[in-house]
Chains A and B, each alone.
Chain A
Amino acid sequence: MKVHVDMNLCQSHGECAIVAPDVFHLGDDDVLVWHDDVPEDRRAAVEEAVNACPMAAISIEDE
Chain B
Amino acid sequence: MSTPRLDRLVIVGASLAGLRAAQSARKAGFEGELTLVGDERHMPYTRPPLSKDLLAGSQTVADTALRLAKLEAGWRLGQPAAKLDRTAHQLTLADGTTLPYDRLILATGCRARQWRGPGAELDGVHTLRTVEDALALKSALTPGTRLVIVGAGFIGCEVAASARKLGLEVTVVDIAPHPMLPLGAELGARCAALHERHGVQLRCGVGIEAILGTDRAEAVALSDGGELAADAVLLALGAEPNVEWLAGSGIEIGAGVVCDATLTSTVDADVLAAGDLAAWPQALADGQPMRIEHWTVAAEHGTAAGRNALLAPEERLPHTQPPYFWSDQFDCKIQSVGLPMLADRLEIVDEEPDTGRLIATGERHGRLVAAVAFNHARRLMDYRTQLAESVGAAR
A residues near B, CB below 8 A? Answer: 11-15, 17-19, 26-30, 47-48, 51-52, 54, 56
B190 at the A/B interface (Cβ < 8 Å)? no
A52 and B67 contact, CB distance less than 8 A: no
In Å, the complex CA distance between A56 and B388 comes to 23
A18 surroundings in chain B (CB, below 8 A)? 381, 384-385, 388, 395
Given contacts A14-B384, A18-B384, A51-B303, contact A30 B377 (CB under 8 A): yes
A27 and B378 contact, CB distance less than 8 A: yes
A18 to chain B: closest residue by CB: B384
B299 surroundings in chain A (CB, below 8 A)? 51-52, 54
Given contacts A30-B376, A51-B23, A56-B67, contact A15 B333 (CB under 8 A): no
Instruction: Identify whether the interface residues of B are mostly helix, strand, loop, or mixed.
Output: helix
Q: Which residue from A28, A48, A56 sits with its C-beta under 8 Å from B46?
A: A56
B380 and A14 contact, CB distance less than 8 A: yes
B30 at the A/B interface (Cβ < 8 Å)? no
Contact with A along B380-395 (1 / 0, CB 8 A): 1100110010000001
Identify 29 residue pairs between A and B in the complex whose beta-carbon atoms are under 8 Å apart, listed by A's number.
Answer: A11-B326, A11-B328, A11-B333, A12-B333, A12-B377, A13-B296, A13-B324, A13-B326, A13-B335, A14-B380, A14-B384, A15-B296, A15-B324, A18-B385, A18-B388, A26-B378, A26-B381, A27-B378, A28-B378, A30-B377, A52-B296, A52-B299, A52-B300, A54-B46, A54-B48, A54-B295, A54-B326, A56-B66, A56-B67
In Å, the complex CA distance between A54 and B299 comes to 9
A30 and B295 contact, CB distance less than 8 A: no
A15 surroundings in chain B (CB, below 8 A)? 296, 324
Contact with A along B353-395 (1 / 0, CB 8 A): 0000000000000000000000111101100110010000001
13 further A-B contacts with Cβ under 8 Å, apart from A14-B381, A29-B378, A51-B299, are A11-B328, A13-B296, A13-B377, A14-B377, A15-B324, A18-B385, A19-B395, A30-B375, A51-B23, A52-B300, A54-B46, A56-B66, A56-B67
